Chains A and B, each alone.
Chain A
Amino acid sequence: MIEVENIKVAIGAVDILHDVSLRLEPGRLVTVIGANGAGKTTLLRTLSNVVTPHAGTIRFDGRPTAGIKPHVLARAGLVHVPQGRQIVPGLSVRDNLVIGADRVAGLDRDAIAAGLEREFARFPVLKERQHIPGGNLSGGEQQMLAVSRALMMRPKVLLLDEPSLGLAPQVVTTILKALRGLADDGLAVLLVEQLALLALSIADEAHVLQRGRVALSGPARDLRKDRAVIESYLG
Chain B
Amino acid sequence: MTLVNFFQLLVSGIAMGAIYTITAKGLFITHLATHRLNFGQGDFLMVGAFASIGMLAAGVPAPLAVLGVLVLMGVLGYLLERFAIRPLDRLGDRAGAYSWVLTTAGAALILQNIVELGFGKSAQYAPPLFSKTRDNVINILGVGIFFEEAAIIIAAFLIVGAFYWFLFGTRWGKAVYAVAFNPEAASLFGIDVRGVVVLVFVLAALMAGISGVLVGPLVSVHPHMGLIFTIKALAVAAVGGFTNPVGILVGGLLFGVAEAFSNYWDSAFGDLYPLLFVMALLAFRPSGLFGERRADVR
Contacts and interface: CB of A to CB of B under 8 A. Distances in A.
B185 A86 contact: yes
A10 interface: no
B189 A153 contact: yes
Interface in A82-135: 82, 86, 88-91, 95, 99-100, 102-104
Interface in A206-230: none
A59 B191 CA distance: 22
A88 B191 contact: no
A71 B187 contact: yes
B187 A69 contact: yes
A91 B185 CA distance: 14
A153 B188 contact: no
A149 B177 CA distance: 16
Contacts of B189: 74, 79, 99-100, 149-150, 153
Given A95-B174, A99-B171, A99-B174, A80 B188 contact: yes
A89 B181 contact: yes
Interface string A46-63: 001010000000000000
Interface in B176-191: 177-178, 181-182, 184-191
A71 B217 CA distance: 45
Given A50-B184, A86-B185, A71 B178 contact: no
The dominant DSSP class at the B interface is helix
Contact of A100 (B177, B181, B182, B190): B190
B214 interface: no
B175 interface: yes
Nearest to B171: A102
A140 interface: no
A74 B191 CA distance: 9
A70 interface: yes
A221 B16 CA distance: 72
Interface string B204-221: 000000000000000000
B188 A99 contact: no
Most buried by A among B171, B174, B182, B190: B190
A86 B184 CA distance: 10
B184 to A, nearest CB: 6
Given A50-B184, A86-B185, A102-B171, A153 B190 contact: yes
B249 interface: no
Nearest to A101: B190
Contacts of B182: 86
B188 A70 contact: yes
Given A91-B177, A99-B171, A102-B171, A71 B185 contact: no
A117 to B, nearest CB: 20
A195 B207 CA distance: 51
Given A88-B181, A90-B177, 8 more contacts: A71-B190, A82-B185, A88-B177, A90-B181, A91-B174, A95-B174, A99-B178, A103-B192
11 contacts: A50-B187, A69-B192, A71-B191, A74-B187, A86-B182, A88-B177, A99-B189, A103-B191, A149-B189, A153-B189, A153-B190
